[in-house]
Amino acid sequence: MKVQNTAIFMGDNTRRERNNGVQEEKSEKSNVYAGNLNKAFDPIAKKKQDAQKQAMKVIGDAWAGDRKVDDDLAARRDKMREYKEIIGRNNEELKRIGEERLALRDQYGVGADSQEEKDLRLLEKAADSFKPDAVQLTKEEQQRLREIEEAGGPTEYQKRSLDMRASGSTFQKEIDEAKKGIEAENHAIYNLKETQLKSQSMLKASNAAEDILEAASKEVIGMLMEEAKDHVDEEMEEKKEEAAEKAEKEKEEEEKIEKRKEEKEEKEEFAEEAAEAATEFMVEAENTMEDVQKEIKKIMDKMKLVEEDIKGAAVDTLM
């Protein structure tokens, strides 16, 4: 491995441990293998796994938060659909009541632009004037209501039509409540989206996860550099020891060579001395032999003289 153009040594066992670290992490924690207890602890693989777990937790928490918001949004949209269905059903009922009132008007032969129909609309407005935020009656309308009352009150058609309208008040109330519910849900959805947009939790979580992994990577690089330094130091120490051993062997070999050289010189010196001694001995021996021969010759010469003397004496005696 190279980090910033620096060679990093990683033993085969260490690399295998780091490559298999994640798979081993996934194994059932309830199972304990004796082989695993003997494995050397790898701090670099542990650092990488811890950083990955932390990054995944940050992203997982953000995802869970966003999922909760999404679930909340989905629930509110479902609620809005329910409100719309309520409005739809009740509008159908009000439409039915409206059609029945039109049929009632035709039954009584009341014209759409007749005074009786106009007075009916005024009576409806008067009934609604008691509701909150209702439109208030004008002075002219109040005067007309007094005239209707003085004339004997609403006609039979008007009373029946007003009763039919009142029967639809429950439906109208549900419609109004559903509309308020839709308005509230719309407001809540807007706030949730606004909050989600401002928080950008997933983006922040992703950036945070990247920061965690980057920090871990820098720390791992430092650990790898330290590991490489330790390995280089170990190799240098081994090389020093090897060099020392080699130097010791070379020294021993030189001593052996020197010893053999000294022995050879001693042998040569001894041979020279022996040769000189032998030469001297031979010379002395030759000298000694010459002296011996001379002595022998002297003795022989003397012996010859004696022999001659002996021979002469013998002759004299015979004569």
- For residue 2, the surrounding DSSP H or E stretch is strand 2-3
- For residue 114, the surrounding DSSP H or E stretch is none
- The reported pLDDT for the residue numbered 312 is 64
Q: Calculate the average pLDDT of the chain.
A: 78
Residue of higher predicted confidence among 29 and 257: 257
The pair of structure tokens assigned to 104 is: 């009632």
Average pLDDT over residues 5-19: 47
- pLDDT value at 15 more than 60: no
CB 75 within 8 A of CB 188: no
- CA 47, CA 208: separation in Å to the nearest integer? 17
| The most confident of 37-41, 88-92, 281-285, by mean pLDDT | 88-92
- CA 36, CA 146: separation in Å to the nearest integer? 100
In the beta sheet, which residues pair with residue 7?
2
- The reported pLDDT for the residue numbered 34 is 44
- pLDDT value at 156 more than 50: yes
> Does the pTM exceed 0.75?
no
- The reported pLDDT for the residue numbered 260 is 77
16-22-24-30 Cα dihedral, nearest 10 degrees: 160
Average pLDDT over residues 78-98: 96
Average pLDDT over residues 9-16: 47
What does the pLDDT look like over 207-261, one tens digit per residue? 776 777 777 677 777 777 777 777 777 887 888 888 788 878 888 887 878 877 7
Long-range contacts of 280-285 (CB under 8 A, 24+ apart): none
Report CA 198 to chain centroid distance, whole Å.
28
Lowest mean pLDDT among 87-96, 106-115, 129-138, 213-222: 213-222
Question: Any residues with CB less than 8 A from the CB of 22 and at least 6 apart, and which?
Answer: 49, 52
- The reported pLDDT for the residue numbered 86 is 97
CB 54 within 8 A of CB 212: yes
Average pLDDT over residues 194-213: 70
Buried b vs exposed e over 148-169: b needs ≥16 C-beta within 10 Å?
A: beeeeebbebbebbbeebeebe
- First-to-last CA distance in the chain? 136
CB 69 within 8 A of CB 190: no
90 burial level (CB within 10 Å; 0-12, 13-18, 19+): buried
Which of 62, 79, 74 has its CA nearest to residue 196?
A: 62
